[in-house]
Amino acid sequence: MPNPTGDPVRVRKIGWHAVRNAAVFIRRHSFHDQLGTENKKRNTKDEHETETERGNSIKEKNRENQLKKKEAKLEELKEMEDKYLSDLKRIHSFINVDMKKSKDDPGYPVQMPESLKQMEYIFIGNFNDVFDFHQEVFSNELISGLKCAGKTRDLLRKRSYDMKNRYGTFCSNWTKSDYILKKFKSYFKKMEQHSDENISLTDDLIRPIQMLNRYHLFFGDLVNICNRLEEDENTQLYKECLHISKDISQNSNDVMATGKIQNFPEAEDIARQGVLITRGNVNCKIPKSASFFNLFDLKTKQNRTKNMPAHIFLFKQRLVVCHFKKSVKEFGIGDEYQFWTMFLVNKMKIEDADENDFVLIDEETSLKLRIVAETSEKKDIWVGIIKKEIKGLERRMTNMMIPQASIDQGVGFGDTPPSSA
């Protein structure tokens, strides 16, 4: 561009100033840009650290909450055991003090009926054994070791057999005790009113069964809490407690359910059917217009059948089918089982059917009964267990028929024959 002044020196000065100003501007803005970047990095870092701290704070707060829940759950279990022992003491005093006076003391205001005196031992059953077990052994050991999951697990391992034995006997006798309580309702009401104990036998006699079915609920909660706390060892220990306590309660529930079967054939003895393998709710598919005498006719068309609630008890010797009526009471206490029919395991066949169905067949009478499981998975479990028991019994029967080597025989099955000279 032409210079209007024609002064080359001025042009050079203006050019040099422009370059210098541009350089200063660039340096200044470059510094501000760098400073801004560093500030952004610092702010991002601060935000990240703040977020991390906030996350750690929330995590720590959650952990504190879970620890509080754990402590509260253990304290709840302790209080429940204390309350249960207190209830057992009240019942024990009523039975062994009040009822004894009513029976033996002619001057006692409420006299025990003579007919009840003959069955008092049935009414009491083995309650005193259950009381002594908790009073002298279990309650103290449970409460003293409650803070240590390992001690609780060891206690349940050690006392599992005792609990199954005592509570199994109690549950087996409970139906008889409940019958006697209802039969002599007027007498027991008068005794409750006269007793110094705050007692209600209808509620109190069921307490041992209710308590036994609550232990595993606590251990299930403790498993979940310890898992959230990432206490792997305690989680595993409480899982073992859960498994053992469930096994104990299931054993007692099975015994009680078996003892509640009504109208079981007098010629048979339910206690002599062998070990109870499993039991469960099913439906039996029957004709809609069926009478009791043709319930097992499977020739009726599919669209004319209905499902009837039933309960299967699979013992080592027999499979027993009962009419089933579900109760609203917890732990199956009020459930009703009425004998329907049964199959000898060594004379029984099982056939798979559509969907959730399978068929039981009596090889001697040709009786067929179509069973409907709750789900296809449960059907597969039922079919697998029943087939296993049938094959197992067949194998045992075969082994019994194999002749044993005589002691008088000179050569056993495993001996080498003597060589001929």
- What pLDDT is stored for residue 52 in this prediction? 65
Mean pLDDT across the stretch 61-89? 94
Mean pLDDT across the stretch 374-401? 88
pLDDT of residue 414 exceeding 50, the answer is no
Average pLDDT of the residues of the chain: 84
* Nearest residue to 361 (alpha-carbon basis) of 381, 340, 347, 375: 347
pLDDT of residue 303 exceeding 80, the answer is no
- CB distance 130 to 170 below 8 Å: yes
Query: How far is residue 312's CA from residue 332's CA, in Å, rounded to a whole number?
Result: 15
pLDDT of residue 11 exceeding 50, the answer is no
**In which band, very low, low, confident or very high, does the pLDDT at 411 lie, cut at 50, 70 and 90?**
very low
- What pLDDT is stored for residue 385 in this prediction? 95
- What pLDDT is stored for residue 220 in this prediction? 96
CA atoms within 13 A of residue 74's CA, in its CB half-sphere:
18
CA atoms within 13 A of residue 234's CA, in its CB half-sphere:
19
pLDDT of residue 332 exceeding 50, the answer is yes
pLDDT of residue 210 exceeding 80, the answer is yes
Amino acid at 298: L
* pTM of the model as a whole: 0.74
Compare 334 and 322 and report the one with higher pLDDT: 322
Compare 352 and 24 and report the one with higher pLDDT: 352
* Poorest-pLDDT segment among 170-184, 196-210, 276-290, 310-324: 276-290
Helices (H) and strands (E) in the chain, counts: 13, 8
**In which band, very low, low, confident or very high, does the pLDDT at 234 lie, cut at 50, 70 and 90?**
very high
pLDDT in tens, 156-203: 999 999 999 999 999 989 989 999 999 999 999 999 999 888 899 999
Compare 11 and 108 and report the one with higher pLDDT: 108
Query: How far is residue 408's CA from residue 14's CA, in Å, rounded to a whole number?
Result: 135
* Poorest-pLDDT segment among 22-31, 69-78, 361-370, 379-388: 22-31
Query: How far is residue 310's CA from residue 324's CA, in Å, rounded to a whole number?
Result: 5
- What pLDDT is stored for residue 419 in this prediction? 44
- What pLDDT is stored for residue 309 in this prediction? 95
Percentage of residues in the chain having pLDDT higher than 70: 78
